[in-house]
């Protein structure tokens, strides 16, 4: 099987997942998204391989099918978050690149990206990102490596892990102020607004904005200066 064939099957699984999310997983709906019926042969093969079941016009993904589709969707939406959060791309700009990433990202790299971004639960378009083992382990861990900004102690220094917001304007504003994953910040004040320091510049943030910023739990010790 060629890489082109693999990509085509991945695209079908992705389309089936989207239709299932919208509770419209039928052959008629699939044909609306694929008017040339280019997936018809693959649909029959998926049925033979136990990936899905056909019941008249209705399609049902089996457990095997859901596992395969979930992996593709997880890779795609995490790639979108990586491009948006780290590179500052808009949701529109992330789509094409994410389509390429979803075919080449190894499972262990996907989890590493997820950890780096703080286990986000939504892509830049607002769609849910399927959980991975790393998400469940982090949730069950008493000492997660990522905490919210408001969980930091005043005076503490840490690094930004991720930014969770569905507001594009807010994301753009934060990025323009230099608040990006990996940057070092110091929390100066929590109330009535957050005040942080980045690169010797003090920035005031509304509570609703600051609560969307995740940082590494392990604090960075301050640099001691000689007396």
Look at residue 123 and tell me if it is in a domain. Answer: yes
Note the pLDDT of residue 205: 92
Structural domain of 157? 146-216
Q: Where does the chain have alpha helices with state H?
A: 3-21, 27-33, 40-48, 63-85, 91-104, 107-116, 133-140, 168-176, 207-210
Q: Are residues 105 and 160 in the same domain?
A: no
Note the pLDDT of residue 219: 65
Note the pLDDT of residue 1: 47
Q: Are residues 211 and 167 in the same domain?
A: yes
Residues of the chain with pLDDT under 50: 1-2, 142, 225, 227
Q: How many domains does the chain have?
A: 3
| Three-state DSSP state, 156 | coil
Look at residue 223 and tell me if it is in a domain. Answer: no
Q: Examine the fold and report which residue of 109, 140, 171 is the final residue of a domain before the chain moves on.
A: 140
Q: Are residues 125 and 78 in the same domain?
A: yes
Nearest to 16 by CA among 53, 94, 125, 120: 53
Q: In this structure, which long-range contacts are made by residues 205-209, counting pairs with CB atoms below 8 Å and at least 24 apart in sequence?
A: 207/150, 209/165, 209/170, 209/174
Contact 220, 159 (CB under 8 A): yes
């Amino acid at each position: 099987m060629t890489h082109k064939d693999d990509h085509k099957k991945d695209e079908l699984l992705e389309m089936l997942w989207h239709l299932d999310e919208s509770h419209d997983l039928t052959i008629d709906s699939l044909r609306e998204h694929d008017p040339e019926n280019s997936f018809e042969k693959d649909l029959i093969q998926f049925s033979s391989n136990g990936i899905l079941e056909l019941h008249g016009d209705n399609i049902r993904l089996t457990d095997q099918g859901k596992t395969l589709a979930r992996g593709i969707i997880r890779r795609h939406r995490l790639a979108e978050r990586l491009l948006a959060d780290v590179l500052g791309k808009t949701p529109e700009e992330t789509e094409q690149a994410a389509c390429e990433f979803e075919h080449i990202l190894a499972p262990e790299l996907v989890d590493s990206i997820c950890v780096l971004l703080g286990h986000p639960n939504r892509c830049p378009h607002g769609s849910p990102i399927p959980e991975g083992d790393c998400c469940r382990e982090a949730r069950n861990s008493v000492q997660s490596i990522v905490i919210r900004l408001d969980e930091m102690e005043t005076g503490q220094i840490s690094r930004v892990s991720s930014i969770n917001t569905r507001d594009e304007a807010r994301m753009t504003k934060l990025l323009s102020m230099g608040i990006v994953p990996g940057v070092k910040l110091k929390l100066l004040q929590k109330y009535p607004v957050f005040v942080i320091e980045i690169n010797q510049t003090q920035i005031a943030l509304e509570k609703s904005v600051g609560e969307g910023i995740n940082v590494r739990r392990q604090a960075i010790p301050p640099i001691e200066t000689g007396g």
